[in-house]
């Protein structure tokens, strides 16, 4: 199946700093990628849909100025958490839809801890 | 709004059969997917039902009834490694996938 990678797999940062998370599709081109957030023992919540070459579409309640998404190429989307605070600590997962089959492949996730 | 409901926890014995139900209420419906997620890991795709009926893939089967807005995942011959969280997810559009609350399955010896 298709492979999606994320980097870093975990990050610890101080409150007020910014953190960038990369999501790459390794063996296919993804015109659309998705960013999810998952708090412990909870479901995956869609944050935004990232479209190559255009602005991301954010879900209601997600601050676009705080969670900056850039989809500069068909294989790379980045999520930057700006001015991170402890409440932003979570598991961030990206995914990409493979053309044709009705399934999404997920990256391994990035665990963010803000001190 | 969108809502997908699943039982929060299920416990079953190794070798047994377990069914995880999912009821949904969404604006738009393309199909129902099931994902498995082990602690600390990424969700992995298990199955997708666009039409009514049962889809079988090895030990796992998934069922959908569109008229009842209901589906289930059936796991047979349970193994210890099946202990994980299972999420149903509804595709409401070409690029929209909304996840259920998740069911934590614990398989005991």
pLDDT higher than 90, residue A68: yes
Q: Which residues of A touch B87 (CB under 8 A)?
A: 43-44
Chain A's closest residue to B84, CA to CA, is: A41
Distance between CA atoms of residues A63 and A87, nearest Å: 14
pLDDT higher than 80, residue A100: no
Which is more confident, B40 or B53?
Answer: B53
Q: Is A39 helix (H, G, I), strand (E, B) or coil?
A: coil
Q: Between β-strands B70-75 and B18-25, what pairing exists: parallel, antiparallel or unpaired?
A: antiparallel
pLDDT higher than 80, residue A102: no
Is the CB of B91 less than 8 angstroms away from the CB of A102? yes
Question: So what's the pLDDT on residue B38?
Answer: 94
Question: So what's the pLDDT on residue A62?
Answer: 94
**pLDDT tens digits for B46-85?**
999 999 999 998 999 999 999 999 999 999 999 999 999 9
Q: Which residues of A touch B42 (CB under 8 A)?
A: 93, 106-109
Residues 6+ apart with CB under 8 A from A30: A4, A52, A74, A75, A77, A96, A97, A98
Question: A8 preceded by cis ω (within 30°)?
Answer: yes
Q: How far is CA A21 from CA A79, B13, B53, B56, B72, in A?
A: 5, 40, 40, 37, 34
Q: Which residues pair with B44 in a beta bridge?
A: B36
Q: Which residues of A touch B40 (CB under 8 A)?
A: 109, 111
**pLDDT tens digits for A13-63?**
999 999 999 999 998 888 889 999 999 888 899 999 988 888 899 998 999
Share of chain B above pLDDT 70, in %: 98
Question: So what's the pLDDT on residue A1?
Answer: 65
* pLDDT tier for residue A101 given thresholds of 50, 70 and 90: low
Q: What angle do CA A110, A97, A49 make, to 5 degrees?
A: 65
Chain B's closest residue to A101, CA to CA, is: B48
Q: CB atoms < 10 A from the CB of A75, how many?
A: 19
Residues 6+ apart with CB under 8 A from B53: B63, B64
B99 vs A44, A103, A107: nearest CB: A44
Distance between CA atoms of residues B105 and B98, nearest Å: 20
């Amino acid at each position: 199946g298709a492979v999606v990678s994320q980097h870093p797999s975990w990050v610890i940062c101080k409150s007020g700093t910014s953190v960038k998370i990369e999501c790459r599709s390794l063996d296919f081109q993804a015109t659309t990628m998705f960013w999810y957030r998952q708090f412990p023992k909870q479901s995956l919540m869609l944050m935004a849909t990232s479209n190559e070459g255009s602005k991301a579409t954010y879900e209601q309640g997600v601050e676009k100025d705080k969670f900056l998404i850039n989809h500069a190429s068909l294989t790379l989307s980045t999520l930057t958490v700006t001015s991170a605070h402890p409440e932003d600590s979570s598991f961030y997962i990206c995914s990409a839809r493979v053309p044709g089959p009705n399934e999404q492949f997920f990256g391994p996730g990035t665990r963010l801890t803000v001190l | 709004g969108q809502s997908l409901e699943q039982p929060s926890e299920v416990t079953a014995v190794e070798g047994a059969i377990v069914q995880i139900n999912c009821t949904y209420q969404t604006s738009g419906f393309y199909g129902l997917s099931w994902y498995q997620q082990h602690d600390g890991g990424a969700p992995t795709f298990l199955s997708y039902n666009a039409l009514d009926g049962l889809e079988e893939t090895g030990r796992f089967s998934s069922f959908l009834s569109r008229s009842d807005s209901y589906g289930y995942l059936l796991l047979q011959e349970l193994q210890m490694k099946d202990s994980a969280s299972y999420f149903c997810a509804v595709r409401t559009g070409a690029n929209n996938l909304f996840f259920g609350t998740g069911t934590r399955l614990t398989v005991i010896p």
